[in-house]
């Protein structure tokens, strides 16, 4: 059965480029990103892994750990990491799962026969500090993932988990947010002392509350 938003992210143990890892223990009390690649030495994924490595400080600011996956083995991973470091001018600083037996791929429904029976599709899972899946995106092989967008989504998820707000289209950290419909008008001043704007009775905005 395919995983859905709100499901607990299945735990697993796997061999990675940084040793054997228990996924839930690796995440600890923080957030996580698990993202898959069809195979080592693929051009688009090479640029993606390099980009993620360069964003280490941004993920750390959000208490978020990253783990990649490919169905190739550890020796292949080691060679690919050298290529990534060389071509992307960085140092890979997160584990890459060697999922040769497809155990994790099948656990997370990353094998799509209509795409390819042998390789994982390029999925991204964002996992909250409660170990529940908050976001699932699957990309085609020809389109590189936008990790700035994933950082934006994590900002939104972490904000909306702690406040009764939602984030509007194209929202970025620091911009106004939408007050949840469940909040009564008379309760807004106490909950959102920075003030608010009524665009329509169902559309009320307020400055980002945690700034």
Indicate the helix (H) or strand (E) that contains 82: helix 74-88
Q: How confident is the model at residue 144 (pLDDT cuts 50, 70, 90)?
A: very high
- How many angstroms from the chain centroid is the CA of residue 28? 15
- Which pLDDT value is given to residue 193? 96
- How many angstroms from the chain centroid is the CA of residue 23? 14
**Nearest Cα to Cα of residue 189 among 206, 174, 166:** 206
Instruction: Answer yes or no: is pLDDT of 13 > 80.
Output: yes
Backbone angles phi, psi at 206, to 5 degrees: -150, 155
* Domains along the chain with CATH numbers: 13-144 (3.40.30.10), 163-206 (3.30.1020.10)
Active-site annotation holds for 42:
no
Q: What angle do CA 52, 57, 63 make, to 5 degrees?
A: 95
CA atoms of 138 and 155, how far apart (whole Å): 20
- Which pLDDT value is given to residue 79? 97
Residues 6+ apart with CB under 8 A from 108: 3, 10, 34, 36, 123, 125
- Which pLDDT value is given to residue 38? 86
Give the model confidence (pLDDT) of 156-175 as tens digits. 999 999 999 999 999 999 99
Active-site residue among 14, 27, 34, 45? Answer: 45
Q: How confident is the model at residue 127 (pLDDT cuts 50, 70, 90)?
A: very high
- Which pLDDT value is given to residue 197? 97
- Which pLDDT value is given to residue 122? 86
- Which pLDDT value is given to residue 112? 66
Edge-first strand listing for the sheet containing 122-127: 19-22, 13-16, 96-98, 64-70, 31-37, 122-127, 133-139
CA atoms of 71 and 180, how far apart (whole Å): 42
- Which pLDDT value is given to residue 140? 85
Q: How confident is the model at residue 121 (pLDDT cuts 50, 70, 90)?
A: confident
- How many angstroms from the chain centroid is the CA of residue 170? 17
Give the model confidence (pLDDT) of 34-75 as tens digits. 999 888 999 999 999 999 999 999 999 999 999 999 999 999
**Nearest Cα to Cα of residue 54 among 16, 94, 24, 111:** 94
Instruction: Answer yes or no: is pLDDT of 90 > 60.
Output: yes
C-beta pairs of 55-63 under 8 Å, 24+ apart in sequence: 55/147, 55/151, 56/93, 56/94, 58/151, 59/33, 59/151, 62/31, 62/151, 62/154, 62/155, 62/158, 63/30, 63/31, 63/129
CB-based contact 42:134 (threshold 8 Å) = no
- Which pLDDT value is given to residue 110? 87
What's the pTM? 0.92
Instruction: Answer yes or no: is pLDDT of 117 > 60.
Output: no
Q: What tokens does 179 get?
A: 């007050």
Mean pLDDT of 146-161: 97
């Amino acid at each position: 059965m395919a995983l859905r938003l709100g499901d607990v992210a299945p735990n697993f143990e796997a061999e990675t480029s940084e040793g054997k890892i228990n996924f839930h223990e690796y995440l600890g009390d923080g957030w996580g990103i698990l993202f898959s690649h069809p195979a080592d030495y693929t051009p688009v994924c090479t640029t993606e892994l390099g980009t993620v490595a360069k964003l280490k400080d941004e993920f750390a600011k959000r208490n978020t750990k990253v783990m990649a996956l490919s169905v190739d083995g550890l020796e292949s991973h080691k060679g690919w990491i050298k290529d990534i470091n060389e071509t992307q001018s960085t140092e890979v600083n997160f584990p890459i799962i060697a999922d040769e037996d497809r155990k994790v791929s099948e656990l997370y429904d990353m094998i799509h026969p209509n795409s390819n029976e042998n390789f994982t599709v390029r999925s991204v899972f964002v996992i909250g500090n409660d170990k529940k899946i908050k976001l699932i995106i699957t990309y085609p092989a020809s389109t590189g993932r936008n990790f700035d967008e994933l950082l934006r989504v994590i900002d939104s998820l972490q904000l909306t988990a702690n406040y009764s707000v939602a984030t509007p289209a194209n929202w970025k950290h620091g911009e106004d947010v939408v007050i949840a419909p469940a909040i009564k008008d008379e309760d807004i001043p106490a909950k959102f002392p920075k003030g608010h704007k009524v665009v329509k009775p169902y559309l009320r905005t307020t400055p980002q509350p945690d700034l």
